[in-house]
Amino acid sequence: MKHLLLTALGCAALMASAQQVTVTQSSRLLQGVEGPAYHPVLNGDGSRLLFTGTDGSGLKMYDFALDVTTRISDAAGAGMDAFFGGDGKVYYVTQTRNEHNLIYRTGHAYDPATAQSSVVLEAQHGAMRPMQGTTGAGLKAPARDFATSQLGTAVCTQGSEVIVTVNGRERRFSPVESHAGYLWASLSPDGQHVAFFAAGRGVVVMDLNGRVEAELGNYEMPSWYDDHYIVAQNATYDGHQFSSSQIVLLKADGTYKTELTRPTSMTMQPTAAAGKIIYTSIDGNLYLTTIAINE
């Protein structure tokens, strides 16, 4: 039995060492066309990209097929939590400060087909959190929420909870301890798994019933590359500024990781879809990378 166990472990080690990830392309995106660009977000088929300027000022969308950039909003903060819904629309939040220094946020939806924006959630005080749905979208807010009639499966975070909505039924999970809370919840492309960041723990993968499937390490801003891999940011901070930042590829079951950029590259904020990986640098330069995974 001991011999069989050692043989099995040896085979597993050989399989892990045989796995290879090769960067097949890495190029600057929108060079000389746009200014500093941050918080990139790809849509599900990788055909469109959202991004924002310094400090989240304004929101723009780039269409790869048309090679055209559209300005969606000039409002402050519009690009910070913008995302694509499963219905193809862009959802974003703007904010204003009243005479009492209170911040009020408003939810919007932009339809690329008509190039028009509409208000979907009236101004209210407090945070509005994105709910990315497989067939629609929603926004979680303190006073009242918004969700499209066809939401599908959707996830978001609130405090130290992951909120999972399936067929209109909402469930809340706190699968790992994190007093500072959760961020950046997203669904795998097949809609069966959730990745999120738990402060002090790192990237956690769970199923739709809140069962932890893997903890991938202290990385940030996880984005699903496909149903089996996740790209994330690996950064160090000295209390005043970033001292290093790189993009890493993680297997969702926790068995493999590799770096796609060097720590000194100061690359961050990854997004992935349909074979594309896009990230920005600390100076706001966007990059497009493709990879080949040999298992």
Mean pLDDT, the chain, integer: 92
Per the listing, tokens 């919840």 go with: 185
Beta bridge partners of residue 91, listed in sequence order: 83, 109
User: Which own/partner pairs from 23-26 qualify as long-range (CB within 8 Å, at least 24 positions apart)?
Assistant: 23/260, 23/289, 23/290, 23/291, 24/290, 24/291, 24/292, 25/288, 25/289, 25/290, 26/287, 26/288, 26/289, 26/290
Whether the pTM exceeds 0.95: the reply is no
Torsion angles phi and psi, residue 155, rounded to 5: -140, 150
Q: Report whether 236 contacts 273 (CB < 8 A).
A: no
- Give the HSE-up count for residue 251: Cα atoms under 13 Å, Cβ half-sphere: 13
pLDDT of residue 18: 59
Using pLDDT thresholds of 50, 70 and 90, give the confidence band for residue 8: very low
pLDDT of residue 238: 81
Is pLDDT larger for residue 135 or for residue 13? 135
The predicted-structure confidence for 157-196, as pLDDT tens digits, reads as follows: 999 999 999 988 999 999 999 989 999 999 999 999 999 9
The predicted-structure confidence for 24-60, as pLDDT tens digits, reads as follows: 999 999 998 888 999 999 999 999 999 999 878 899 9
Alpha carbons 222 and 133: distance in angstroms, whole number: 17
Q: Report whether 34 contacts 60 (CB < 8 A).
A: yes
CA-based Rg of the chain, rounded to a whole angstrom? 20
The predicted-structure confidence for 252-270, as pLDDT tens digits, reads as follows: 999 999 999 999 999 999 9
Alpha carbons 171 and 239: distance in angstroms, whole number: 36
